[in-house]
Amino acid sequence: MGHTKLEVEKSLSSFLTEKVETSIDPLVTQVASLIKEFTLNGGKRIRPILMVSGYSLFMEPDSRIYNASICTEISQTYFLIQDDIMDQSMLRRGKPAFHLQVLEKLYRNGNDLKHHAESIAIIASDLADSYCHQALLKSGFDPILLTQADMELSNIFEATGQGQLIDINSFFDDNFTVRDLMRVHLWKTARYTIEGPLRMGAILSGTKEKLQMLSSYGYSLGLAFQLHDDLLGLFGDETVLGKSVKSDINEGKKTLLILKAMENGTSDEREFLSSAIRSGNVSDDEFQRVKKIVERTGSLDYSIDLSKKLSENSKKYIARSPGRQDIKDFLTWLSDYIIKRSS
């Protein structure tokens, strides 16, 4: 998939460069440049690669699908800008969060301009969202396929928003259950990151095959992806991740790791975990204790086992999906990779 990633990078760079260069207003140029740099800086391009894969299952890829696929990468810019404002995160991909870059580059870190920089960042996220639809709509596919794919994109964005709602609210929801959490993961991660891009690619190929098995693959692997992300968020390597390893805890995230540990822990442990994720700023010692409790209660093993099982299931689904074998082989490889990666 090295070739695909390269083609995606080329499309991304050329689309965003055009945005910067065709702007007639200096402020718009500045913001478009920030969007460009933010988008081009890192990112595994997993969504566009999956979109190209969904297409390649049924059709030989050409420049149109690379150009269309970047809508699922620019959407990351759209959502990550907002996420970091909501969570008041400082770092993203090893650099200052977008709104902090605005504060620094447009307003020289003026202290009283924080709210203002966040407003500019929200507008930048809106621009990125427009870019997503534009990139897709000008990719050159048949309008019948484009309207279907753009409806899919809009539905994906709606699902992502719904997942994000429940996620953000979970901090204040004392009755937040594993069922709620699964809804977040299915909508905000599985559909948005895996299932949606795959389906969009398949839609653009114009295939008449049923996409049910492909969707099941996407949902299973998407859940596994999120569980593994949560593992990295607690037990991963900060320098590889590009963000503080404490940030999940400090943001008060009720991950499956935390929920299961609370379910299985002693009342002391439950109380400690509950206060740790509410503190907003755990010490090193507290952070170590969180990890120990997650291990001791079997919650760590539970999450690892579940993500393995989901990854295995996804392989069964892709085996039963129609489409070219070499692409199915890649997707099978991905099922393993996703629960082994370190970032």
* Interface ranges with a second copy (CB under 8 A): 23, 25, 27-28, 31, 82, 85-86, 88, 106-107, 113, 115-116, 119-120, 122-124, 126-127, 129-131, 133-134, 137-138, 142-144, 146-147, 150-151, 153-155, 157-158, 160-162, 164-166, 168-169, 171-172, 183
Nearer to a second copy (CB atom), residue 35 or residue 293:
35
In whole angstroms, give the CA distance from residue 263 to residue 289.
Answer: 17
Sign of CA dihedral 180, 230, 242, 14: negative
Question: Residue 298 gets which letter from DSSP?
Answer: T
**Contact by Cβ (8 Å): 85, 122:** yes
Nearer to a second copy (CB atom), residue 259 or residue 261:
259
Minimum separation from the CB atom of position 146 to a second copy (A)? 5
Nearer to a second copy (CB atom), residue 112 or residue 284:
112
CB atoms within 10 A of CB 68: 29
**Contact by Cβ (8 Å): 14, 139:** no
Identity of residue 71: C
Minimum separation from the CB atom of position 147 to a second copy (A)? 4
Nearer to a second copy (CB atom), residue 144 or residue 267:
144
257, two tokens: 């790791």
Minimum separation from the CB atom of position 327 to a second copy (A)? 27
Question: Residue 194 gets which letter from DSSP?
Answer: I
In whole angstroms, give the CA distance from residue 291 to residue 246.
Answer: 11
Minimum separation from the CB atom of position 259 to a second copy (A)? 17
Nearer to a second copy (CB atom), residue 1 or residue 166:
166
Question: Residue 246 gets which letter from DSSP?
Answer: T
Minimum separation from the CB atom of position 18 to a second copy (A)? 13
Nearer to a second copy (CB atom), residue 23 or residue 264:
23
At residue 266, the 3 state secondary structure works out as coil
Minimum separation from the CB atom of position 161 to a second copy (A)? 4
**Contact by Cβ (8 Å): 195, 219:** yes
Nearer to a second copy (CB atom), residue 64 or residue 133:
133
Minimum separation from the CB atom of position 28 to a second copy (A)? 5
Minimum separation from the CB atom of position 222 to a second copy (A)? 18
Nearer to a second copy (CB atom), residue 155 or residue 325:
155
In whole angstroms, give the CA distance from residue 255 to residue 231.
Answer: 9
**Contact by Cβ (8 Å): 83, 93:** no
**Contact by Cβ (8 Å): 8, 46:** no
| Residue where the block lists tokens 């999450």 | 303
